[in-house]
Amino acid sequence: MAEESAGQSERKTRVVIVDDHQIFRQGVQVNLELNDDIVVVGHAANGEEGLEVVRRTQPDVVVLDINLPLLNGIQVTRQLVSEGQTARIIMLTAYDDRQQMIYAMRSGAAAYCVKEINPEKLIDVIRYVGQGRFVVNSQVFDKAGLESWIERGVQEAAGQYYADMAETFSPLSSREMEILQCVTRGLSNKEIARSLKISHQTVKNHMTAILRKLAVEDRTQAAVFALREGWVRLQDTDESVEK
């Protein structure tokens, strides 16, 4: 029994880092591995690669940026959750606003921290989420506490319209995210339908849901929101237009 307990105490938290800046990834890895209880088992530079690395290495924790090429961090999180991956996800991002936090946590993230976080605090966050807790910036919650925090945030944003905005700040589906990316490229509903090989009415239905979930009035505001929050990258939309 003593040997088993000793083995368990020596187990390290396995971490994957997903960020498109190599120097940032290396810096995070160096700081994490100064701690005997943490080891970085993989890293990736874009969302699709991130999914592959997580599937292959089965880490305990993923440190994930939102603004990524190919698939953004929220898309990656949704996919990992839908696959039943057990890794707990820490969103480490430059986008520090309440709406973004709500979307991230509703998508399945275990923590949301700004990139300015100091290494010691990031270590604390990794340990908290490893214990099954949730962290939003400096606030630590259990599951019930997180749900209450999300509900308060939605109520504050929706105000008197809360009862009519149950879907507001809900995560976009994979198809809705695809359509939102098309909108940021300036495509019309008919062009989106043709590009995605779905009906014009289906695109309109998805657009209605997107506007409701983002709490915006029109497709222009939706596009601005997606770009501002880092869900779509300008260079990605430029590449798509060129193709």
Span 129-140, mean pLDDT?
93
Instruction: Work out the widest C-alpha separation in the chain, in whole angstroms.
Output: 67
Assess whether pLDDT exceeds 90 at residue 77.
Answer: yes
* Whether residue 43 has pLDDT greater than 60: yes
Of 19, 23, 132, 117, nearest to 86 (Cα)? 132
Q: Where in the chain do CATH 1.10.10.10 domains reside?
A: 172-242
The model's pLDDT over 96-123, given as tens digits with 9 standing for 90+, comes to 788 889 889 999 999 999 988 999 999 9
CATH architecture of 2-149: 3-Layer(aba) Sandwich (3.40)
Mean pLDDT along residues 11-30: 94
d(C-alpha 72, C-alpha 69), whole Å: 7
Query: CA 163, 167, 171: angle at the middle one, nearest 5?
Result: 155
Q: Rounded to two decimals, what is the model's pTM?
A: 0.77
Tokens at 235, concatenated: 């260079």
- State whether residue 240 is helix, strand or coil: helix
The correct answer on CATH 1.10.10.10 for the domain covering 172-242 is yes
